[in-house]
Structure 1
Amino acid sequence: MARVLSLCRLVRAPQQPLRLAVRSMSLDQRAREVFSAAVESVQPDRVVRRSLERRGDQLEVAGRSFKLQHNVHLVGFGKAVLGMAAEAEKIVGEHLVKGVISVPNGIQETLRQHGKEQMLLSSGSRITVMEGAKHNLPDADAQQAADSIRQLASSLTDTDLLLVLISGGGSALLPAPVPPISLQEKQDVTRSLAAAGATIQELNTVRRSLSLLKGGGLAACAKNAQVVALILSDVIGDPLDLIASGPTVECEIWPEQVWAILNHYGLPASSLPASVTEVLENAGHKTAKLSADSSSGDNSRITNAIIGSNSIALECAGRRARELGLRPLVLSPSVSGDVRSVARLYGLLARYASGPLPATSSQAKHLSQLADKLLQLGPEVGIESWDLMRTMKVLEDSRDETWGATCLLAGGEPTVQLTGKGRGGRNQELALRVGLELGDGLGTNVGGDKGPVFLSGGTDGQDGPTEAAGAVTDGALAEEARGQGLETDDFLVNNDSFTFFSQLRQGQRILMPGLTGTNVMDVHIMLLPPPPALTD
């Protein structure tokens, strides 16, 4: 918690003269401010600066101290790694010997165009930047970068320190199939599994068995060197073995387990490339003998540290919400499942929060029914019953307290069922669906105050194949759409939420911060005004 608060202090509290301006801000504006604070708190340079500290000839990270003697080598892979590497090099300074990072195709030029020069390496950098994985798919350029990273790690001795920078997208940027498997053959196997419905855990189990660097393979290449991995998580729950497929995390690989998965999804040996069958048959029991985290003792050779995550972003968003006169309430950083179910959950929460303190048995029964529906829906969208009950209790208490609007915060990565060929992303589609949920009797409150406002945004600034991060909506959305002759159902069927929001109110509801340079999944913000006064 102390580290989270330290990160959150990057968001400046409004001074006394600004309080009047804060009060005059609309809920829409406050939601956007809270989202900006969430994104700022997990910027690559900021999280590295707060997690990596140099004191003389000592480098301190995750409660451990490492001797600096011109012995630092750096590798990295992921969408946010360029900014992480730029800051890490500034901190390590002359002790950095060499570095290689694998980053998305075109990211350097894109960052320049968005004015993100602080995330670019200096002209005299000792770090080589290699771009690849066009369209977020492993390719020959990414494989070449992976080969360079493997060669660097393999050259180290027990006097060296390998600093590994990892962020979302790292798996595609570090493809290194076990020979004689080709990159295309490995991709074909994993695609077939994904199409058959394999879980991410099952996909990673198979992918690691066919990879030289995943599942602890990179750290194993570093032999006896100290390995420190700084990780910006884009996976729900921050599981070290799933982020970029865990290249610095201990992993046991049992061929019989891999075969069981392949057979379960209709991929027997006879259907696989001969190279894949050969590797699995010759693998035996393979274990990367690593220590998964620094908790195993001070003598551990491997240190993995989560330095940025959705949870940290939500904590810092809550701090900013409080500065804006809102009551922060974090629901969960683990929202998942279909956007239709997620939208339904937010609609139910808005209804639960909007009702007055029960004064009659019918009102109490209504709230009880809403609570039952929420608890039934929770497992479907990745939210624990405890978190829902805690949230409902806070919403109940707010009915007879003096707080203004409550700022409900959540994060995660819902999914969209593709039924059309329109332009959009999960955040914009979720915002559209929640807006329709809020329009059912929740457009305004007693006294004419605006009803709940909902924002959903991707922390990377890109929602699907669009230049938007998401959208902001409220209960007036359906009426506005009808007034402009826009049929919301047509846009939803075609997965065309970006076109919808572009046309609605001339795009005023679109959330467009530009490329952020980071990625810790999505942030959901729902501002809930005070409920009506007590009725007898």
Structure 2
Amino acid sequence: MSMARVLSLFRPQPFLAFVGRRKPTLCKMSMDSRARGVFAAAVEGVQPDTVVRQSVERKEDTVVIQGHKFTLKHNLHLVGFGKAVLGMAAEAERIVGDHLVKGVISVPHGIQQTLQQHGKDHLLLKENTRIEVMEGAKHNLPDADAQKAAERIKQLASELTEKDLLLVLISGGGSALLPAPVPPISLQEKLDVTRKLAAAGATIQELNTVRRALSFLKGGGLAQCAHPAQVIALILSDVIGDPLDLIASGPTVRSEVWPEEVLSVLEHYKLLSSVPASVKDVLGGPCIRESKDEPNTPGHVLNAVIGSNSLALKCAGRRARELGFRPVVLAPGVCGDVKSVSRLYGLLARFACSREEPPPEIAAEMLRLGPDVGVESWDLCRTMQVLDEGRTEGWGATCLLAGGEPTVELTGKGRGGRNQELALRVGLELRGLELPPNGPVFLSGGTDGQDGPTEAAGAITDGGLYEEAQAQGLDIDNFLTNNDSNTFFTRLSDGQRLLVPGLTCTNVMDVHMLLIPPIPIIIK
């Protein structure tokens, strides 16, 4: 099957591929600098104060959120939990003013001092704040401090009436900051059960099924505590597809939890006989979420995703156009093993940079890889269509954007993370292609600014990576086998390829970027 035939099967509407067909004017910045600039715009677009400010509109004594109007009568209470919640709370309090009665937020240990040290005072609460800040969850693990904060949040919610509004702020890391085991289960007992399940190979869905059953506030429990008050949840998503029930384990999203389902999961992994007596007592009691006939989200709850990977990619695309690129979003949910993901990006680069019509085998292999890495065939063919037209019609440089969270198979004990390893593997895939500015550049970075246990968020690579490593005596295969991508990039050219944005104060997963230079027009 010819390339034209492959692409014609999935011919998209033009607006799905990009906005406008005007050929951008390239600026004089290097490809590396432009890649870093586009990533910075992605992070800036999902700052916690920014997403709240853009989503909550104050009109005299009302606030409007996603088209829903709520009356303020000095009746607003606030709770929150997550790594980005401090900045969200500061902006929310600024907007609602003295209509805020009181609030409690659970945030990571040391976050206030860290923000002060990095000059992020705009993300801190004012001295006269009505919000109580409770720090906990050292090393992103539930602990006694986080449990104490959860109890305060539960108490505040339980005291509300039908005249009150409860504003709930949620971001990544919220699950660890809101531990509230169902009595008589202790926090340690709950942690032990979930750790054993994870070690046994349980899926994220199975883990959440058990976690919700053993938690008082997860799975819609917080919203139930607040009834009959109106609950408004503002959510900064760090999960692929923005599933409300998975972000921080869905404290404002009703979910049915049936003891027999949980018992079935434990039995499947041969853990039923080893769980504590307290867990068996809870599972042997009445159903925690009583009716499957009731709606997933109660009528008194509004769940609003105000920041996500898709928003970050939109902001990145806007900046890419300003820097002379035609932005094209591949997908916001790239996942799967980094080996397959890197292969896909390598094929896309070769497809885009081919001076002649690419062989159909490239498209066929990409379509085979797509389902394994979370990219739909439609999105792949739409992207190939745009890249093919760009090559034949001379539309200039292209910025291919994607997001998500690939996974890394651990085979060693080196320092690194999924973004640095992905960049390293893509560098190998680009071997043989021209160097910048005439060849492609690839960037992978975590929007939270930290890729694994390193100070880097990711790295930038191109077709010259292999030769550069050889010249400096660095064996790429050895670094990959030891999962030591950070050490590799640190040694390579004194770490100039590393992406180190510092404290970002947000997290909407990763941003992947493939910058493709203009390709000479094909004369047919």
TM-score normalised by L of structure 1: 0.91
Of 176, 197, 201, the residue aligned with 1:197 is 201
Equivalent residue number for residue 276 of structure 1: 279
TM-superposed CA distance for 1:263, in Å, is 1.4
1:499 maps to 2:491: no
The answer as to whether partners of 1:230 and 1:304 remain within 8 angstroms in 2 is yes
- Residues 291 and 51 of structure 1: CA distance in aligned 2, closer, same or farther (over 3 Å): farther
Of 350, 361, 379, the residue aligned with 2:371 is 379
Which amino acid is 1:453 matched to? V
Which amino acid is 1:389 matched to? C
Equivalent residue number for residue 499 of structure 2: 511
Alpha-carbon distance in 1 for matches of 2:319, 2:494: 29
Alpha-carbon distance in 2 for matches of 1:496, 1:109: 31
Equivalent residue number for residue 13 of structure 1: none
Equivalent residue number for residue 82 of structure 2: 78
1:55 maps to 2:59: yes
Which amino acid is 1:482 matched to? Q
Summarize the alignment of residues 355-366 of structure 1 with structure 2, pairs less than 5 Å apart.
355-358=354-357, 366=359
CA RMSD of aligned residues (A): 1.7
Summarize the alignment of residues 412-451 of structure 1 with structure 2, pairs less than 5 Å apart.
412-439=404-431, 441-444=432-435, 449-451=437-439
SS in structure 2 opposite 1:283? coil
The answer as to whether partners of 1:248 and 1:292 remain within 8 angstroms in 2 is no
The one-character-per-residue Cα deviations of 1:9-44 (angstroms, maximum 9, x if unpaired) are xxxxxxxxxx99x62111111111111111111000
The answer as to whether partners of 1:292 and 1:303 remain within 8 angstroms in 2 is no
Equivalent residue number for residue 148 of structure 2: 144
Which amino acid is 1:104 matched to? P
Equivalent residue number for residue 123 of structure 1: 127
Equivalent residue number for residue 14 of structure 2: none
Alpha-carbon distance in 1 for matches of 2:437, 2:178: 52
Alpha-carbon distance in 1 for matches of 2:374, 2:205: 16
TM-superposed CA distance for 1:315, in Å, is 1.1
Summarize the alignment of residues 41-440 of structure 1 with structure 2, pairs less than 5 Å apart.
41-268=45-272, 270-284=273-287, 286-287=289-290, 292=296, 300-358=299-357, 366=359, 368-439=360-431
The answer as to whether partners of 2:227 and 2:300 remain within 8 angstroms in 1 is no
The answer as to whether partners of 2:105 and 2:131 remain within 8 angstroms in 1 is yes
Alpha-carbon distance in 1 for matches of 2:85, 2:309: 17
TM-superposed CA distance for 1:285, in Å, is 5.7
Alpha-carbon distance in 1 for matches of 2:103, 2:162: 18
TM-superposed CA distance for 1:63, in Å, is 1.1
- Residues 449 and 32 of structure 1: CA distance in aligned 2, closer, same or farther (over 3 Å): closer
TM-superposed CA distance for 1:287, in Å, is 3.3
TM-superposed CA distance for 1:283, in Å, is 3.1
Of 443, 461, 469, the residue aligned with 1:455 is 443
TM-score normalised by L of structure 2: 0.93
Alpha-carbon distance in 1 for matches of 2:415, 2:371: 29
Which amino acid is 1:108 matched to? Q
The answer as to whether partners of 1:249 and 1:291 remain within 8 angstroms in 2 is no
- Residues 449 and 36 of structure 1: CA distance in aligned 2, closer, same or farther (over 3 Å): closer
The answer as to whether partners of 1:356 and 1:535 remain within 8 angstroms in 2 is no
The answer as to whether partners of 1:77 and 1:166 remain within 8 angstroms in 2 is yes
Alpha-carbon distance in 2 for matches of 1:211, 1:385: 39
Alpha-carbon distance in 2 for matches of 1:449, 1:522: 25
The answer as to whether partners of 1:326 and 1:403 remain within 8 angstroms in 2 is no
The one-character-per-residue Cα deviations of 1:266-303 (angstroms, maximum 9, x if unpaired) are 222x121111111001133623898655xx8xxx3100
Alpha-carbon distance in 2 for matches of 1:185, 1:533: 65
Q: Which runs of 5+ in 2 are unaligned?
A: 1-23
Equivalent residue number for residue 464 of structure 1: 452
1:35 maps to 2:34: no
Identity fraction in percent: 70
Which amino acid is 2:54 matched to? R
Of 473, 478, 488, the residue aligned with 1:490 is 478
Which amino acid is 2:55 matched to? S
TM-superposed CA distance for 1:486, in Å, is 1.1
Alpha-carbon distance in 2 for matches of 1:395, 1:262: 49
Which amino acid is 2:340 matched to? S
The one-character-per-residue Cα deviations of 1:288-344 (angstroms, maximum 9, x if unpaired) are 898655xx8xxx310000000000111111111111110110000000011111111
TM-superposed CA distance for 1:389, in Å, is 0.9
Which amino acid is 2:138 matched to? K
The one-character-per-residue Cα deviations of 1:237-256 (angstroms, maximum 9, x if unpaired) are 00000000000001111111
Q: Which runs of 5+ in 1 are unaligned?
A: 1-18
TM-superposed CA distance for 1:401, in Å, is 2.1
The answer as to whether partners of 1:57 and 1:67 remain within 8 angstroms in 2 is yes
TM-superposed CA distance for 1:200, in Å, is 1.1
SS in structure 2 opposite 1:282? coil
The answer as to whether partners of 1:309 and 1:520 remain within 8 angstroms in 2 is yes
Alpha-carbon distance in 2 for matches of 1:74, 1:284: 29
Alpha-carbon distance in 1 for matches of 2:402, 2:119: 29
Equivalent residue number for residue 23 of structure 1: 27
The answer as to whether partners of 2:394 and 2:521 remain within 8 angstroms in 1 is no
The one-character-per-residue Cα deviations of 1:477-506 (angstroms, maximum 9, x if unpaired) are 111111111111121112111111111111
Alpha-carbon distance in 1 for matches of 2:397, 2:42: 19
SS in structure 2 opposite 1:356? coil
Alpha-carbon distance in 2 for matches of 1:309, 1:404: 29
Which amino acid is 2:509 matched to? M
- Residues 188 and 31 of structure 1: CA distance in aligned 2, closer, same or farther (over 3 Å): same
TM-superposed CA distance for 1:357, in Å, is 3.8
The answer as to whether partners of 1:374 and 1:388 remain within 8 angstroms in 2 is yes
Alpha-carbon distance in 1 for matches of 2:478, 2:507: 31
Equivalent residue number for residue 9 of structure 2: none
